[in-house]
Amino acid sequence: MNTFHNTLVTIDNFIWGPPLLMLLVGTGIYFTFRLRIFQLRHLPTALKMVFSKEENQSTGKGDVSSFAALCTALSATIGTGNIVGVATAIKMGGPGALFWMWLAAVFGMATKYAECLLAVKYRKTDSKGQMVGGPMYYIEYGMGNKWLAKLFALFALGVACFGIGTFPQINAIVDSAQLTMNAPAWLTGGVLTVLVAIVTLGGIQSIAKVAEKVVPTMAVVYVVSCLTVLIMQIEALPAAIQLVITSAFTGSAATGGFVGASIMLAIQSGVARGVFSNESGLGSAPIAAAAAKTDSCVKQGLVSMTGTFFDTVIICTMTGLTLIVTGVWQGDAAGALMTTQAFALGLGSDQIGPYLVSIGLMFFAFTTILGWNYYGERCVTYLFGNKGVLPYKVIFIALVASGAYMKLDTIWVIADIVNGLMAIPNLIGLIALRHIIIEETHLFFNKQSNNEEEAILNRA
């Protein structure tokens, strides 16, 4: 069994190694320069759309508002990676990993824009009148490659059932509840199963309703908590930011319990954890984007790309700087324990710190389960039609119920492999349909420019 597990770990390290990371970031670099760094030029417009009441009351085709679709996607991406993943990246690659996480996020915004634009352009209506879309649809109907589309759907379904969508999140919730409230696993598992069943059986409207309330609330609470630590450690903040930038290009020397990191390790750790956290290029967010009520694929692409901005540029940055200003990254702790120590030191309380981290983990993990349940459902609809949805939901709920008792490292490694494999068909689709993405973008912004000129002339 150990040999089998070690073999899987080797495969996992290969899949998530430099080739895939280069392909993921390279796709973002291509769209960034082909569209003239539009994700930075149009970020203010995108953020305005996210919070625009008019935009979110759009009468365009779709099942939920643009904001609700974004929150559904964020529910799946804002999770343990924002707390545990950042700590792991800095522990492995030093403070410089945070810089490379930022860079990956900037290019990832372009990738997220491209895939969510295609999701709306090629979405379909199912037999129940609901909008369905995502990589499987733009690969089949845009590229004309059905087997590659099915391959993506199978990989994504595997991740939903056995990976990010279930076991790691369930275990994070169970462990956090046990740490802070001394709650037994059977009780936490039972309550979690009931909550997941109530929300997911209601479909996308139910999931989106919960997501658009819980995700922004918990994100704000977590960011405010991090800001409190940073304000209390304000004298250390300039040095921390300087350390992030300098060690990104010089590596990090060994200090305390930290063993040191090369530039290459900082790059690999930052990029890998950044991509894993915001899922840009993996093909998950487009499935949620396809359900948005919108009259423009470009508008939804802009709204969706802010997900990477919120996830990595804001939330991951808050976690990273909190770890650095408190100095815990140099100690022996890792993962969630490192973040817990940072809050305890930063807030000067051994009680409040663990509670904030644990509650954040529980809520982020819970919404990740909901988001990935929906992704899995859409993949089942694509592969088997609506008749497969109810059996899928029953199986998913059963997996949630059993997850509280599982410590299956091998299954998690398999899920990680499948998660990486998801990206390959999606990136092939993005590259094949690059001219569509560029054409739609130019048409939209040319029309906007013409409308603005016309409005100026009318006012004159």
Interval 348-399: pLDDT, tens: 877 787 788 888 888 888 998 999 999 999 999 999 998 999 999 999 999 9
Does residue 70 form part of some domain? no
Does residue 2 form part of some domain? no
Indicate if the pLDDT at residue 165 is higher than 90: no
Compute φ and ψ for 252, nearest 5 degrees: -120, 130
Does residue 452 form part of some domain? no
What is the mean predicted confidence (pLDDT) over 203-224? Answer: 86
Does residue 136 form part of some domain? yes
For 308-345, the pLDDT digits (tens) are 999 999 999 999 999 999 999 888 887 778 888 899 88
Structural contact between residues 364 and 83, judged by C-beta atoms closer than 8 angstroms: yes
- The residue type of 8 is L
Q: Which domain holds residue 296?
A: 13-37+77-444
For 194-212, the pLDDT digits (tens) are 999 999 888 778 888 888 8
Which ranges of 385-459 does DSSP label H, i.e. alpha helix?
Answer: 389-403, 409-432, 434-459
Number of domains making up the chain: 1
Give whichever of 79-93, 100-114, 263-277, 438-452 has the largest mean pLDDT: 100-114
Does residue 210 form part of some domain? yes
Does residue 460 form part of some domain? no
Residue 143's pLDDT band (cuts 50, 70, 90): very high
Nearest to 285 by CA among 211, 375, 376: 375
Question: C-alpha angle 29/249/336, rounded to 5°?
Answer: 85
The pLDDT value given to residue 452: 58
Does residue 48 form part of some domain? no
* CATH number for the domain that contains residue 157: 1.20.1740
Indicate if the pLDDT at residue 460 is higher than 50: no
Cα–Cα distance for residue pair 192/104, rounded to 1 Å: 34
Nearest to 72 by CA among 223, 386, 290, 362: 290
- The residue type of 459 is R
What is the mean predicted confidence (pLDDT) over 230-241? Answer: 94
Q: Which segment of 8-17, 147-156, 225-234, 238-247 scores lowest on mean pLDDT?
A: 8-17
Does residue 203 form part of some domain? yes
Structural contact between residues 157 and 376, judged by C-beta atoms closer than 8 angstroms: yes
For 394-428, the pLDDT digits (tens) are 999 999 998 877 665 666 677 678 878 899 999 99
What is the mean predicted confidence (pLDDT) over 261-285? Answer: 83
